[in-house]
């Protein structure tokens, strides 16, 4: 589907000072408090999203990270037009999402890993046909696109099998195929690989990367699996307690919050005693892993390189999961 001319000169997605607040009920413990609540209930205001602004260019794949309850899903729902903002504005492919114009709804997809759009008792192929009718897709275009997607995801033999009989990974592939049949220019993915094994995650990562390269689609991905982020996205948006705290390159996040290095030492026999004097040390068989501040790496290497029995040595960045957890905990305030 062509991108509207109104958006070609700018960004695929623009959010400006988006805010969303909710009123939630507060119930005290006890029968008497419950009865009182029938007449005079108490509520409090929750700021799900607070003054969030960002711009995403056409064809970008951006990771949207944050702890549970940070406001990621609420932001995606506003960009999809499912939720009205309390204040602020947004433009997606030149449209205001919550105006819900038909021409806009034909150009994006929202995929939520914990919600199904396929009919449970029917083969996925039947749901695909329903999708064709809803979007009024030309038969030739639909057949061509479906054939490409089925081949891309490697599910040629599964489309006539009832959805309830598919594995979790197979169902997720079918969900993604359904969301891509109308060739959206913007794809909003909320935990698309949740609960999947490593093989299924890898397959979906590859397919999303290829779809992005073929169609030039703009993709926002939320995920707690850092392998998804590393495999697909070079840019990261991080939201903490409803506020955007980081917008930059993934490498910048690693440089900023990856204050430590992982020094891995492999010995021919038993690991010598006393390595814990250098810092946090984990020993597994003949391998010792030292978790060190960057400033101490050079000094430590010069001290251990001549140790008897040392056969291999490497210096690595800490796992991305650890870096992101540190960023969440620090608030990740952007300079």
**Positions in the chain whose pLDDT score sits under 50:** 1-9, 332-335
Q: Which domains does the chain have, with CATH numbers?
A: 57-82+96-254 (3.40.50.300), 259-316 (3.30.70.1150)
| 271-279: Cβ within 8 A, 24+ apart | 272/307, 272/308, 272/309, 275/304, 278/303, 278/304
pLDDT at 315: 85
Residues 209-262 have pLDDT tens digits of: 999 999 999 999 998 888 888 889 999 999 988 999 889 998 787 777 667 788
What is the rounded CA–CA span in Å between residue 150 and residue 158?
Answer: 9
Q: What share of the chain is helix, strand, coil (3-state, %, to 5)?
A: 40, 30, 30
Helix (H) or strand (E) segment spanning residue 172 = helix 168-180
Task: Say what the pLDDT of residue 111 is.
Answer: 92
Q: Which residue has the tokens 């919050």?
A: 257
Residue 2 confidence (pLDDT): 42
- Say if residues 56 and 62 touch (Cβ distance below 8 Å): yes
The answer to whether the predicted template modeling score (pTM) of the entire model surpasses 0.85 is no
Q: What is the pLDDT of residue 330?
A: 58
For position 243, what pLDDT does the model report? 92
Measure CA 297 to chain center.
33
Instruction: Identify whether the C-beta of residue 152 lies closer than 8 Å to the C-beta of residue 210.
Output: yes
- At 258 the pLDDT is 64
The H-or-E segment that residue 176 falls in is: helix 168-180
pLDDT in the model for residue 262: 83
- Nearest-angstrom CA–CA distance, 50 and 231: 29
């Amino acid at each position: 589907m062509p991108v509207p001319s109104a958006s070609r000169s700018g960004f695929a997605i623009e959010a400006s000072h988006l805010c969303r607040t909710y009123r939630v009920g507060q119930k005290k413990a006890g029968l008497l408090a419950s009865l009182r609540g029938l007449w005079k209930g108490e509520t409090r205001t929750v700021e799900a999203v607070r003054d969030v602004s960002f711009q995403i260019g056409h064809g970008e794949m951006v990771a949207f990270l944050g702890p549970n309850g940070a406001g990621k899903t609420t932001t995606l729902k506003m960009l999809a037009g499912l939720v009205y903002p309390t204040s602020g504005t947004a433009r997606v492919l030149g449209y205001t999402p919550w105006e819900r114009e038909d021409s806009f709804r034909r150009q994006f997809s929202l995929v939520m890993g914990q919600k199904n759009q396929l009919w449970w008792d029917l083969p996925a192929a039947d749901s695909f046909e329903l999708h064709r009718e809803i979007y009024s897709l030309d038969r030739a275009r639909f057949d061509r696109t479906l054939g490409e997607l089925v081949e891309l995801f490697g599910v040629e033999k599964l489309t006539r099998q009832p959805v309830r009989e598919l594995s979790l990974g197979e169902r997720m592939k079918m969900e993604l195929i359904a969301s891509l049949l109308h060739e959206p220019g913007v794809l909003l993915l909320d935990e698309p690989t949740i609960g999947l094994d490593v093989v299924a995650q890898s397959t979906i990562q590859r397919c999303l990367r290829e779809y992005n390269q073929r169609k030039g689609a703009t993709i926002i991905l939320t995920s707690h699996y850092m392998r998804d982020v590393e495999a697909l996205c070079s840019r990261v948006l991080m939201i903490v307690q409803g506020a955007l705290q980081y917008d930059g390159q993934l490498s910048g996040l690693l440089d900023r919050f990856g204050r430590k290095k992982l020094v891995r030492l492999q010995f021919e026999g038993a690991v010598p005693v006393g390595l814990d004097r250098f810092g946090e040390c984990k020993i597994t068989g003949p391998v010792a892993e030292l978790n060190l501040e960057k400033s101490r790496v050079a000094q430590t290497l010069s001290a251990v390189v001549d140790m008897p029995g040392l056969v291999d040595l490497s210096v690595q960045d800490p796992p991305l999961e650890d870096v992101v957890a540190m960023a969440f905990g620090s608030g990740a305030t952007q300079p």
